Each structure stands twice: as structure tokens, then as C-alpha cells.
Amino acid sequence: MRQYREGSHAVAEIVRLCKAQVISAYPITPQTHIVESLAQMVADGELNAEFINVESEHSAASVVQGASATGVRTYTATTSQGLLYMIEVLYSIAGLRLPVVLTCANRAVSSPINIWNDHQDSVTVRDAGWLQFYAENNQEACDLHLMAYRLAEDHEIMLPVMVCMDGYILTHAYEVVDLPEQSQVDKFLPDFKPVHCLNPDKPISMGVLMGPESYTETRYAIHQTMMDALNVIPGIADEFEQVFGRKVNCLIEKYRLEDATQVFVAMGSMVGTIKEMVDGLREDGQKVGLLKVIAHRPFPKKIVYEALKNAREIAVLEKAISLGEEGPLLSDVKSAFCGYGNQPKISGFVLGLGGRDITKKSIFEVQGALAGSQVDVKFIDLKI
């Protein structure tokens, strides 16, 4: 059913339809509207779940970790400093192979204090063992949450999933979204059946001490599962299309790449602005295209290479910087070309930090910089 909804409220509705049984979160801008909506649904009897109030994000992550370990479907949401406050438990959740779903309403990280959007928070925890997906718009954010539960609870995967949506730009924006019927969600997402869980009738130990003789193998197992997910995701996406009648991309999206020699690469809501730019440049006869990266972890390296291998110039645009090095997404894109003979010019551009607007002028500045030599880090719209 197509409805005009705020992004946060639409995501909350999806979580309700997924029948999360334990929800815990600590309010932090710009995530708060999501969990406020869910708390109201529980209070009104619209969602049969426990909403557990806590005193911090660390506690919220701990609650959903414990609940998931008992074999119930869980949900949490956070942003910025709150996500970083969770980081100890995020690693633990992945290490225990618990299929928790988390919404990150992307926001800049202090100091200085900034409550507006960029990707420095979620990119910082990309190595915690969580699958990460980035949404361009609110319809995609809703669809990715449905995919997140289906993928996380797949017995071949059993890993947590983080859905990233740009704070304010998506969370507080009203758009028309197609919200499914409960019967459709039930068909796509069966009841959660854990591989193992805590049960006093069948006691097991979880998260035990592990020495050097075995720890490496646990990291290898998570890494291998992340890579295996690249093969599992397309099949689940096909199931999604069969049930809901629309296609959902979960790895990459190619936009006007068929003959493009100059390609932009980006994640999140800035993709919409870049698409408009690409359309305009195409009308001017320029062979320009866009590659939208949706899955940042696992990074679909081979698919990215195949999409970009014919480009002469690649501009990686990102709302994050690995201080003292280069943009994290730039490093990933460069790695996709390792071992191949053809090496296009790959340049990195940092923009939109702390919520600074990304305009068509910003994209023109990126394109202008491509006329020069390859750059690893160029800050766009810099005012000094």
C-alpha cells in the first residue's frame, strides 16, 4: 500500500511488520522518531513485543544481544556517538553469530558537536562483523530492512545486519513509500528459528574464553560467511521480487554505465543528486555514469570491478574520511582493481561532512578535478 510517510515512521512500520519481539534503544537524534513510533505501537497493542527502556546505547545493544541469544527476533537503532558507544557489544553480537538488525541513522561524530549527516559513524564500525547496507531513499531503506531480517536469520549466514539511512535527509523526510501487507511479509520472512540459543532445558555456553589455538578460526568463519553472503543475497532478492512485485538491489546499482568512460561511485542519499547530474551531462553528450554501492560490507569487489572495468576515470565520492589516509570507500574501490592489468584513474573526493549540502555545484567541482592528475583525497566545497 502506497503511503506518504516520514522515513523514520516508515522504517518503524516495517519493523512492526517483521514482528520484532524485543526492542531496546536509547533516544539520540536523528534516530529517535523510529523507536518512539515503535514504543507507541507496543503501548497501543499494535505490536506484541517487549520495549525495554535503558540508560545508554551500550545497554540497548546488550539487551538485544541477550534477547537474540535466547532465540527471539530483536531490533535496535542508534547513530553517531551512540553507535560508537555500542562498539564493544557490536563485536560481541557478531562473534556470537546473532542475527540482530540495527538501523543507523547516519550522523557526524564529535568533536566538535555536530548533529547533522555524514557517514563517519557507520564506516568506523565496518570491521565489526556486521553486514552493512546503505539506502538512497526511504523506499530502499524500508526494503533493505526486510532483506536484513531475511538475510540475518538465514541459517547459512546468522550474522547481524546494519541498515544505514542518512540522518534528517531520509529519517525526517516525507516520501511516498510502498508498505507491504502483513501477509506478504509473513510469506517472505518466516518465524525466526535460531541455530542455537540459550535454554535452561538444554544448557549451552556462548561467548566462552578462546585462546590463540582457536581464535583465528572464529574470525575466519565470520569473514568466510560475509563473503558467502555475496552469493546468498541475489537469491533472497529474487524471492523479494516474487513476493512484493518489485526488484530490490542489495549489492550495487548501475546507472547509465553502458558506455560510460567517466564514472561516479557513491553511497547513500547523495546518489539522487548525482543521478540528476548524470542525466544532465548525458544530454550534453558526455559519457558519464554512476555506480551506487549499497553493500559496503561485504564489499562486492568482483561485481564492482566488472561494473567499472571499462571506465577511464573514476571519482569516488564519500561522506567519510580515514584521517591520515584516504576515504574508506576509495580504498575498497582501488582494491577491486588489484591484480588486473587495466588501471583507470581512480580519485577520491570527501564532501558532505557534518551535513554540508551536496549540490550540483559540488558534483561539477568533482568533475572539474578529474581533468587534473589522480588524487587520493580532495575535500570538496572547502572554505579555507
Tell me the three cell numbers of residue 260.
560510460
CB atoms within 10 A of CB 136: 24
Is 285 among the domain residues? yes
Is 267 among the domain residues? yes
Q: From 200, 226, 244, give the residue that closes a domain.
A: 244
| Cα–Cα separations (whole angstroms), residue 6 to 10, 29, 97, 168, 348 | 6, 15, 32, 10, 33
Q: From 244, 276, 292, give the residue that closes a domain.
A: 244
Is 271 among the domain residues? yes
Q: How far is CA 240 from its chain centroid?
A: 18
For cell 575535500, what's the residue?
379
Residues 294 and 213 in one domain: no
pLDDT tens-digit profile, the chain (384 residues): 899 999 999 999 999 999 999 999 999 999 999 999 999 999 999 999 999 999 999 999 999 999 999 999 999 999 999 999 999 999 999 999 999 999 999 999 999 999 999 999 999 999 999 999 999 999 999 999 999 999 999 999 999 999 999 999 999 999 999 999 999 999 999 999 999 999 999 999 999 999 999 999 999 999 999 999 999 999 999 999 999 999 999 999 999 999 999 999 999 999 999 999 999 999 999 999 999 999 999 999 999 999 999 999 999 999 999 999 999 999 999 999 998 877 899 999 999 999 999 999 999 999 999 988 898 999 999 988
Domain that holds residue 310: 252-379
Is 52 among the domain residues? yes
Residues 214 and 262 in one domain: no
Q: Which of 125, 135, 171, 175 is nearest to 32 (CA)?
A: 171
| Cα–Cα separations (whole angstroms), residue 175 to 3, 8, 32, 138, 183 | 8, 11, 18, 7, 24
Please give the torsion angle defined by the CA atoms of residues 206, 225, 64 and 44, in that order, rounded to the nearest 10 degrees.
Answer: -140
pLDDT at 339: 85
Residues 81 and 169 in one domain: yes
Q: What CATH number has the domain bearing residue 132?
A: 3.40.50.970
Tell me the three cell numbers of residue 359.
549540490
What lies within 8 Å, CB to CB, of 82 at 6+ separation is: 26, 28, 31, 57
Residues 200 and 331 in one domain: no
Q: From 198, 217, 244, give the residue that closes a domain.
A: 244
Residues 61 and 165 in one domain: yes
- CB distance 121 to 83 below 8 Å: yes
Provide the strand spans (E) within the chain.
2-6, 22-25, 50-53, 74-78, 101-106, 131-134, 161-166, 174-178, 252-255, 262-266, 288-293, 295-297, 313-318, 345-350, 378-379
Is 220 among the domain residues? yes
- CB distance 248 to 295 below 8 Å: no
Q: Which of 108, 170, 103, 166 is nearest to 130 (CA)?
A: 103
CB-based burial of residue 181 (10 Å sphere; 0-12 exposed, 13-18 middle, 19+ buried)? exposed
Residues 231 and 296 in one domain: no
Is 360 among the domain residues? yes
Q: What CATH number has the domain bearing residue 263?
A: 3.40.50.920
pLDDT at 341: 79
Is 384 among the domain residues? no
pLDDT at 94: 98
Residue 29 DSSP code: T
Residues 39 and 167 in one domain: yes
Say how many domains are in the chain: 2
Is 12 among the domain residues? yes
Q: How far is CA 197 from its chain centroid?
A: 26
Query: Measured between alpha carbons, how far is 278 from 255 in angstroms, rounded to an integer?
Result: 9
Query: Measured between alpha carbons, how far is 65 from 37 in angstroms, rounded to an integer?
Result: 22
Residues 100 and 30 in one domain: yes
HSE-up of 318 (CA within 13 Å, CB side)?
27
Residues 230 and 282 in one domain: no
HSE-up of 241 (CA within 13 Å, CB side)?
10
What lies within 8 Å, CB to CB, of 70 at 6+ separation is: 197, 198, 199
pLDDT at 347: 97
Residues 187 and 322 in one domain: no
